[in-house]
Amino acid sequence: MNIAVLDNVIPKKLLCEYNNLRLPTYRSRSDDQESIYSTFVEYGDDYVEGNELILDHFVHSQAQSIWDWFAQTTHLTISNLNSCYVNVMSYGDEGYAHIDATEDLRCVTCIIYLNEVWHSQWGGETAFYSGNYIENFNDDWYYTHEIMRSVLPRYGRIVLFDGHIPHSVRPLSKKCLMQRKSFMLKLNNVNFNEITNAITKR
């Protein structure tokens, strides 16, 4: 199971500049009422079913700067970037288990956590599950799989993982009075080990 957790590698200046943005109102995303949270797309697929609009440039230069740092560090090009967006969750939102791509697509997902402070009692972990994901909620997989790893959203932490690994965001505690924000990069036709090694050896 290819999952890497990397701390203290991305310049905090880039994160601060992005966090200081006043982003437009987040639109609600609901896929067949399975996942309910908010998404703001910076680049790529806009997630609207049947809508052919693809954002071929970054909405904000600050998001572009984060990608430029990542691309320079990992030696990737824009052709490897499928999409870039920010997910926002609040208490009461739900994120169910899902995959980002099938195994044959060689997709790697990168999560960068944006909250400057995060208490472990607030929840919001990214959980990774065993087995092969089944979309049918009635399947036995939902009763038999296990959480293989759980990652707290610490500030500036990068999590890299193969897109075919089932994962979800665990709900936030009612003690959490802030939004949980994460910066996502979906990467195509890339090698997990090469990306991870490039970041750790920078």
Closest CA to 71 of 121, 10, 115, 18: 10
User: Is 146 a domain residue?
Assistant: yes
Instruction: Give the position of tokens 């960068």.
Output: 112
Instruction: Give me 162's structure tokens.
Output: 């193969």
For residue 167, tell me if it sits in a domain. Answer: yes
Which residues are CB-neighbours of 125 under 8 A, at least 6 positions away? 150, 151, 152, 153, 169, 170
Give CA–CA dist 143/159, Å, rounded: 26
- The verdict on residue 186 lying in a domain is no
Mean pLDDT of 23-51: 66
Between 88 and 6, the more confident residue is: 6
Answer yes or no: is 101 within a domain. Answer: yes
Flag whether pLDDT at 52 surpasses 90. no
Residue 102, pLDDT score: 87
pLDDT for residue 194: 96
Residues 73, 25: contact at Cβ < 8 Å? no
Helix residue ranges, H only, 127-202: 141-144, 192-200
pTM: 0.92
Structure tokens at 65: 């700067």
What CATH number is given to the structural domain containing 101? 2.60.120
The better pLDDT of the pair 96, 52 is held by: 96
Is there a domain that residue 51 lies in? no
Task: Please check the confidence at residue 33 and state whether its pLDDT lies above 60.
Answer: no
Separation CA 114–CA 87 (nearest Å): 10
Q: How far is CA 157 from CA 23, 52, 96, 160, in A?
A: 21, 33, 22, 10
Domain extent at residue 105: 3-46+56-152+160-179+193-200
CA angle 79/80/85 to nearest 5° reads 105
pLDDT value of position 31: 53
Split at pLDDT 50, 70, 90, the class of 46 is: low
Q: How does pLDDT run across 64-100, given as a tens digit for each residue?
A: 999 999 999 999 999 999 999 999 999 988 888 999 9
Instruction: Quote the number of domains for the chain.
Output: 1
pLDDT of residue 135: 85
* Residue 115 is assigned to a structural domain of this protein: yes
Give the whole-number percent of the chain exceeding pLDDT 70.
89
Question: Which tokens sit at 78?
Answer: 């824009």
Between strands 3-6 and 36-45, the pairing is: unpaired
- 100, part of any domain: yes
Task: Read off the pLDDT band of 1 (50, 70, 90).
Answer: confident
pLDDT in tens, 112-168: 999 999 999 999 999 999 999 988 888 999 999 999 999 999 999 999 999 999 999
Residue 113 lies in a domain: yes
DSSP label of 25: P
